[in-house]
Structure 1
Amino acid sequence: MLPYSVPYQDFAFEHAIMGMAIVSMEGEVLQVNAALCELLGCSKQEVMDGTFRALNDGGILEVIRQKAADGRLEPSPMTALHVDVKYEHPEGRNLHLKLHFSASAEAPAPIRHCLVQFEDLTPVYELEEQLVQKEMKLSEREDGFLELLEELPLSAFITKNGIVQYVNQATLRLLHASDAADVIGISTDVVVDPSSHHKLARRRTRYAKYREIGPVTYLINCFDGQQKIVSGFTLITTYQGEKAALSIFKDITEQKMEEDRIMQSEKLTTAGQLAAGIAHEIRNPLTSINGFIKLLRTSEKSNKLYFDIIESELKRIELIVNELLVLSKPEIAHVSKPLDVLDIIEQIVTLMKVQAAMNNIEIIPRYPAEPVYVHGETNQLKQVFINLLKNAMEAMDQGGTITLSIHQSDSDVRIIVQDDGIGMTPEQIKSLGQPFYTTKDSGTGLGYMITKNIVHNHGGSIDVKSSPERGTSFTIQLPVL
């Protein structure tokens, strides 16, 4: 039995899950429980004979005796003396133990023995060591990663909550900054021009909702007042143990300027071609008009044929000008809305049937049973189908058939206008869409150009297939609503 104990205390001591021992003030181990023997890897006798003395390095019991003599060693575990010791287990591993010394609750004064409780902190120390090792590895990895970023020719910077935490040398060159300290700590709202702030907000919202950021192009402000255009992407990473955003950007200012120059050059070239075509197309009827006016001046009587020719040439000039006006209309002038393509085409076929019958042409419709909806503008789409049907009819001077088919899939609708006309060569197909290029005697070449622009403005495409003497097929593809 324990000194000064009762039977239930013997039972609680022996079956406690924490290792415990009763030790006299002289260092003699009076009793140990099974949990302590299991913890230390020794038998009861081995613990009582010498193991505890090995744990008494540094004169722990001397301190205990002094505290007991001063009345400062109490039965409560809250006021116990705590000592950390290392113990080499017989199996060769080291244990980190915390020893709690407290007076026995039943011991009379003066205190001659105390209760020692052994708390095994080895898992805690091992976990701490693993965390330290992991932090060291992460630190080494982060250092290597930052070294890689320093060598990167592209601009790289790391931000947390929109505040710059790190920049590489390429970023300093991009921003014309002399030192990293000038950039670190500032908000990305300062670097990104206010005209691009909506892109910043949109990216933050996208990440908050979908955990995606995606590529982006910004206008940025450099430290010397210059402005540049940059394009890049952002990845979520870890920096100094916290979640951060790594952004990689490339300066595309020169590239954009070159693209603008090329686009401007193309516009000027197109404008030049258009101007040359207009000059050529209008000069011919004007020459005719001028010649017939001179004849009328010298003629003694009015000649109806001259007036008819002048009127015809003036109408041709009016046709050219009207088609140029349609071509120059702003794309945003119309208001798009959901439309039933089937309904529009039925109206156009009804409108064109009379003209087709007069030219011995039959229009054969092949429609689906259900409506086909797209997003667009009614009058512009009507103009597209009128132009295609007129072209088809004008290509068949001996009559024939025009097949008008509609095919719908989950993503798009295809409207096919197939004629039995004279067809076109590959060279002619390639030239379609050029200003004033036409295969018809009285055409201007602007009709197809207008048709193509309208289709593209509706998010669609147009494809042409043709063979000489075998007819032509125009396929319009539009996104389904």
Structure 2
Amino acid sequence: MKIEKRILLKRYLDESIYGNPTLFTGNQDAIFVLDLDGCLVEVNPAFEDLSEYIAEESRQLNLQMLFPNEKSAKAFHFFQKALLGQFQNFDCKMTNKTGRILDLDVMFIPISVNNQIVGVSAVVKDITHLKRRHEEVRRMEEEAKKREETYRNLVEYSPDAVIIARGKEILFINETGVRLLGATKKEDILFKKILDIVHPDFYEAAQKRMNIATSGEATDFYEYKLIRLDGTIFAAEVKGIPTIYQNMPARYIIFRDITTREKTLELLLNAEKLHIAGQLAAGIAHEVRNPLTVIKGFLQLMETQLDNKLYFDIIQAEMDRIELILSELLVLAKPQDFKFEKEDLKTLIEDVKTLIGTEASMNNVQIDIVNEYKNLIVKCDKNQLKQVLINFLKNAIEAMPKGGFITIEVKKHSISKVKMLIKDTGSGMPQHILKRIGEPFFTTKESGTGLGIMISKQIIENHNGSIHFWSDQKGTIIEMILPTT
């Protein structure tokens, strides 16, 4: 049976080769023909060039010899399917005569004569270079992917907030940026435009710097006002760097919250002001006090010789006021010695209320105490802390010339801290004045020195506490936080 089919195959090949030479011998694709046993029966010149076997040598080969061991089973599998009349197309490696391994695209085409499968024609394309090119591209893509992954990790875990943008579109934001902008997930930011997070006052500057970075130049850090998702505004410094993202030009934007730094600079500036004010105060106090003592002495002598006592009383009162100012200046200039002892805060507040009560009543002001604690012990300098409360209560009374209410609240702030609030129902202070509260020599009172609140803040800070001010049209709140024992 196989012999008959081999005769039919040979006849078919003779007719193909001589009857239509371009179909076989003239074909640029390598072609070899297999009999039913998988042995090579005929090859065309293109196959001879590819395999480097001459035609006579090729006719001694079979599938197992042509393909490497691990590939022969694959080739034989597709060969068997072709014998069932099915076209087969697959990639496989072949070893040529010199031992060079070639990557091939192989097509097995059943040869049918008189409705009988008599052999298989194999059309082969050398895809070695294409395969190697694909491998090189794949390797480059993998390397690019690894580089991008490394780049992404560096950006993702950067302590700085980072956005990658193209035009006005936000393409990427790291977790630091998500937290800084008050978002819960990256998608909250990725659906926004870059100008959505920039304060309108900085649109023009942002657009100019976008153009610079897009043109390929890095920009220096520049201070912006940015907007969080909840609408709050914060100061930030922003830098743009040209980069490539997803194989296209983009901008790598670094932004940092500088609110804390600005506050630190403000504190340092105030500390410097305080230092200068202290030096100035000490010099003024000493220079003024000496001639003032002489004036007071001669004034007392003159008082016994002249009759107009009213003028002397006025002069004496004004000199007493000068001495009071000098005392405050010396407090500012010279650090005070604190005597810390355990004190009951409730008793201390009630003592101050008693001291200030008469003045409050005369100005139609009612003082109420709201205390969450029955017994609360704090370690403090009693007299200094009383002075702070007296200063703030006097300020509250003066802020309500037509009368009103003052509430002193004592609340738990944490396990080891207590919060004391002094609230009044005055007309409050505008924000530009509120920001300057506590600055040396800043006051809104005609007869004030601007030192009382600053000294009070200093006393609270010396008690390892903190102090904050809030004010609007409904009144002012002073919050003092002190450690407990």
Relative to the length of structure 2, the TM-score reads 0.43
